[in-house]
Amino acid sequence: MTSTLPAALTAARTAVDPELRKVIGKLDPDTRGVCEYHFGWTNADGSPNGGGGKALRPALVLLSAQAVAPNGAQAVPAAAAVELVHNFSLLHDDLLDGDTSRRHRPTAWTVFGRPAALLAGDALLGLATEVLLDSTSGDAIASARALCAAVRSLIAGQNADLDFEHRADVTLDECLHMADEKTSALLACSTSIGALHVGAPRETVERLHAFGSELGMAFQLVDDLLGLWGDPEVTGKPVLSDLRARKKTVPIVHALTSGTEAGRRLGELYGKEEPLTEAELREAADMVRRAGSQQWTQDECERRLAAAHQHLPRATGNAEAIESLTELAEFIVRRQR
């Protein structure tokens, strides 16, 4: 697994951060403070902090726009918009899931309280449209509409994800559909909105969307695997947290519906009233592996990544750009977190 950061990520961070800081600067001081903490720019006491996320989505926006349009650099507002939507969803997700840690730091709601974190999420969602509409170049209406559609998918996926926790009969198809809505939709938006914003032809936008959609699924499958076997030191999340919360992620649902003895035992554990013990959690993870679902998920991830790559040469003849996007896609899927 590679761990050096592709240059595209650093470049995206440099290009997008000023735009993000500018638009977040429009907020009232209280709401802004929560957002700045969440973005890793400040500590809980407001003092500066060098941190920040990996800018995966902004990098995808900028690279894909540059790959297909000579004025791709004008996609910075689109890159900022996607990053704002992503962070709106993180703020609200952490509230919904009661997660206390993110990127190795206490989540915003644990520091500022639930109401302030909820409102900060609302604010970021509003700013996501605003940053596009404020942009003086590019097709703001087309890109903002694409973003709104992705937000609808994201919400549908989050709703399904929560719903699954209370259902014993989730099928693999339902689970893949949920992952598609929860994660792939915003990734597909990331790889196409920049091209849309700078006026690339429709077919090009659609190819890039298809690339991001497959990549997004591969990304989610890696996330699901890390949720079971990731190193907490690296992921920043408690070990086996997905099983503890009885999440129905893809490998788990694959195991539950595998018809194997291991899957049956996993279902038994998931059916228990009381919280699972540490030993039971480890057993549950082992049942996912024994059901062949770890392997299947890894294979499916590779299939999705290969499918993603196939869309690129049909979107652009820019070999250098294809190489950068390919490198970034590989990084995303090979990451430990």
- From the list 1, 4, 28, 50, which residue makes contact with its own copies (rule: CB under 8 A)? 28
- Closest distance of CB 119 from its own copies, Å: 5
Site size toward its own copies (CB under 8 A) is 40
Cβ proximity of 100 and 107 under 8 Å: yes
Span near its own copies by CB under 8 A; candidates 47-55, 67-75, 133-141, 227-235? 133-141
Answer yes or no: are the C-beta atoms of 223 and 230 closer than 8 Å.
Answer: no
Q: Is 105 helix (H, G, I), strand (E, B) or coil?
A: strand
Measured CA distances, 58 to 61, 130, 208, 298 (Å) = 5, 16, 14, 26
Residue closer to its own copies (CB basis): 22 or 104: 22
When asked if residue 121 is in the footprint of its own copies (CB under 8 A), the reply is yes
Applying CB under 8 A, the span of 44-52, 142-150, 281-289, 309-317 interacting with its own copies comes to: 142-150
CA torsion through residues 186, 191, 197, 202, sign = negative
- Retrieve residue 19's tokens: 């735009």
Residue 88 binding its own copies, by CB under 8 A: yes
Q: How far apart are CA 155 and CA 146, in angstroms?
A: 15
| Rounded distance between C-alpha atoms, residue 11 and residue 16, angstroms | 9
Q: Annotate each residue in 274-313 with x if it binds its own copies (CB under 8 A) or - if it does not, as one string.
A: ----------------------------------------
Tell which one of 64, 129, 204, 258 touches its own copies (CB under 8 A): 129
Q: Which is nearer to its own copies, 71 or 159 (CB)?
A: 159
**Structure-block tokens of residue 176:** 């893949």
* Residue 184 CB, nearest approach to its own copies (Å): 15
Q: Is 173 in the site for its own copies (CB under 8 A)?
A: no
The tokens describing 192, both together, are 């196409």
Q: Which of 40, 52, 106, 126 binds its own copies (CB under 8 A)?
A: 126
* 44 in contact with its own copies (CB under 8 A): no
Q: Does 163 bind its own copies (CB under 8 A)?
A: yes
Structure tokens at 48: 């500066």
Residue 195 binds its own copies, judged by CB under 8 A:
no
Residue 331 engages its own copies in binding (rule: CB under 8 A): no
Q: Using the structure block, give the residue that is written with the tokens 């703020």.
A: 91
Residues near 158 by beta carbon (within 8 Å), at least 6 away in sequence: 89, 92, 93, 96, 182
Q: Which of 152, 159, 166, 124 is nearest to 37 (CA)?
A: 124
Rounded CA-CA distance 32/123 in Å is 9
Distances (CA, A) of 13 to 42, 131, 273, 326: 16, 16, 45, 19
Residue 77 binds to its own copies (criterion: CB under 8 A): no
Contact residue for its own copies among 17, 122, 174, 286 (CB under 8 A): 122
Does the footprint of its own copies cover residue 116 (CB under 8 A)? Answer: yes
Out of 51, 115, 201, 317, point to the residue binding its own copies (CB under 8 A).
115
Confirm or reject binding of residue 148 to its own copies (CB under 8 A): yes
What is the rounded distance in angstroms from the CA atom of residue 193 to the CA atom of residue 186?
A: 10
User: Where on the chain is the footprint of its own copies (CB under 8 A)?
Assistant: 26-28, 30-31, 88, 92, 95-96, 114-116, 118-119, 121-123, 125-127, 129-130, 133-134, 140-141, 144-145, 148-149, 151-152, 155-156, 158-160, 162-163, 181
